[in-house]
Amino acid sequence: MSSRKKYEQRCRRCLMRQELCLCAQIPDLNLATKLILVMNKREIKVPTNTGRLAALALPNSVILSRGVEDAPYDLSEHLPTDRPAVLLYPADDAILLTPEWVATAGPFHLVVPDGNWRQTSKMRRRDPVMATLPCVRLPPGPPTAYRVRRETKAEGLATIEAIARTFGILEGPAVQKALEDLFQLMVTRTLASRGIGDSAGLRSTSG
């Protein structure tokens, strides 16, 4: 089957196969904090990309595609003026993101590079606006629950996991749980479709 045919059999919104579609379960988290997701071009049509899934749950968000020919963007045009933005990136000088720090230095909007370690490192170096943003990093936490794609670093997280934990600090634990529940459903359905785990993760086409 051609890749085009396979793509046509997927939901145009969540990119999951039609029988695995998550759209009915995507929460509507209309928050004060804006998410600006800068996605590497290689992730645009990848159904297991989780950054897109997070953005779908956050109406106050925007997805920018990095590296697409004839489609340049200016990150500064998407940064709100009502508050500063921070970049979620574990640079050596990144500030540890804690409720106490947010209470004294926030509120912020959140810029997240979406790709593997090498891709996101390039984004930060090559995007002149992103390079000027202060970096924040998450405190140590549980290992990733992403069993769909291989993680090369022990501390690595799926993009939606990192966003969920960040919004847990910025917006509260209920927001973090909603995003993590959506992520877990995506993982469960994907693995079930591969014959791994509980087949109850698959929804019926009428549900």
Among 123, 119, 157, CA closest to 138: 157
Q: Tell me, what's the pLDDT at 200?
A: 45
How confident is the prediction along the chain (207 residues), in pLDDT tens digits per residue? Answer: 444 445 568 899 999 999 999 999 999 999 999 999 999 888 888 888 899 999 999 999 999 988 676 767 889 999 989 999 999 999 999 999 999 999 999 899 999 999 888 888 888 998 999 999 999 999 999 988 887 666 555 567 999 999 999 999 999 999 999 999 999 999 999 888 777 765 444 443 322
Residue pair 159/39 in contact (Cβ under 8 Å)? The answer is no
The pTM for the full model equals 0.86
The reported pLDDT for the residue numbered 149 is 61
